[in-house]
């Protein structure tokens, strides 16, 4: 499969048309942004790690019955995915309070929830991805009731699968962001990426952050953390 026209360039990825109408090629970059693009930088090797990690996790989800956009990895940075129209919702699943949840509600980071909590943001960069509820999502015609129900069920199931997988790697899955897309027949599938850019991953023993918070919060050791989380995943799969 070949990259044809560049369809879209985002903060961390480029998306290309291919000779097949229903297939796209995603190319992962090392560019990193935070705070809605206010902070910019490079995390050397991140594109390779995010590509490979996302693909392995999506394959694992597929094996567990979750439909995803993953088709095939082409090389270190490029992957063939199914073409979807993205549902303009950022779906965040949280197991432990952190980040914007802790800030907004004054809850100490690290507070463990009794059950996972889901929240939705309107995926709209110029508005800064505002938090919204499901009535808002319906008023804005972002998704139907049935689609929202499907997305919720899938997000919770994905959380269960990923939480136990990361636990086996000695990693606590704190929270993560998902995006879903519609195939041409309307089927909802998981899209975008699952990576240290989109998940909070803490070492289960030490609590060390092994994710993009090291970049967001200038904690140092950013590249090392990405390499370490990838190493955990690879060594799990080799066992
Ligand atoms: N997240 C993301 N993209 C966003 C916002 C959040 O991938 O635009 C991820 C983030 O990495 C974290 C989870 O979603 O794993 C929850 O993020 P939060 O709402 O706490 O926002 P943040 O503190 O990152 O601004």
Residue-wise pLDDT tens for the chain (239 aa)? 899 999 999 999 999 999 999 999 999 999 999 998 899 999 999 999 999 999 999 999 999 999 999 999 999 999 999 999 999 999 999 999 999 999 999 999 999 999 999 999 999 999 999 999 999 999 999 999 999 999 999 999 999 999 999 999 999 999 999 999 999 999 999 999 999 999 999 999 999 999 999 999 999 999 999 999 999 999 999 98
Q: How far is the CA of 98 from the centre of ligand 1 (A)?
A: 9
- Among protein residues, the one with the nearest Cα to ligand 1's atom 25 is 100
pLDDT at 184: 96
| Residue 238 dihedral angles phi and psi, to the nearest 5° | -85, -15
**Cβ proximity of 229 and 211 under 8 Å:** yes
Cα pseudo-dihedral 68, 31, 93, 127, rounded to 10: -110
In ligand 1, the atom with minimum distance to the C-alpha of 212 is 11
**Cβ pair 72, 150 in contact under 8 A:** no
**Ligand 1 proximal residues by C-beta, below 6 Å:** 90, 92, 98-101, 129, 175-177, 198-200, 212
Separation of CA 205 and ligand 1 centre (Å):
23
Nearest CA to ligand 1 atom 7: 198
């Amino acid at each position: 499969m070949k990259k044809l026209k560049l369809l879209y360039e985002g903060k961390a990825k480029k998306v290309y048309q291919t000779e097949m109408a229903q297939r796209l090629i995603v190319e992962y970059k090392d560019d990193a942004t935070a705070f809605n693009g206010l902070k910019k930088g490079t995390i050397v090797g991140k594109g390779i790690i995010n590509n490979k990690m996302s693909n392995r996790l999506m394959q694992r989800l597929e094996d567990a019955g979750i439909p995803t956009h993953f088709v095939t990895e082409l090389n270190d940075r490029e992957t063939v995915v199914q073409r979807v129209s993205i549902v303009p919702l950022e779906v965040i699943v949280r197991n432990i309070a952190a980040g914007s949840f802790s800030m907004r509600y004054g809850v100490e980071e690290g507070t463990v929830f009794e059950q996972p909590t889901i929240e939705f943001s309107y995926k709209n960069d110029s508005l800064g991805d505002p938090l919204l509820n499901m009535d808002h999502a319906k008023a804005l015609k972002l998704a139907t009731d049935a689609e929202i129900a499907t997305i919720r069920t899938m997000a919770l199931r994905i959380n269960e699968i990923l939480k136990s997988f990361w636990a086996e790697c000695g990693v606590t899955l704190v929270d993560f962001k998902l995006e879903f897309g519609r195939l041409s027949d309307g089927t909802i599938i998981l899209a975008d990426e699952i990576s240290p850019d989109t998940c909070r991953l803490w070492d289960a023993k030490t609590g060390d952050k092994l994710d993009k918070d090291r970049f967001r919060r200038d904690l140092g050791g950013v590249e090392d953390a990405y390499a370490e989380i990838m190493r955990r995943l690879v060594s799990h799969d080799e066992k």
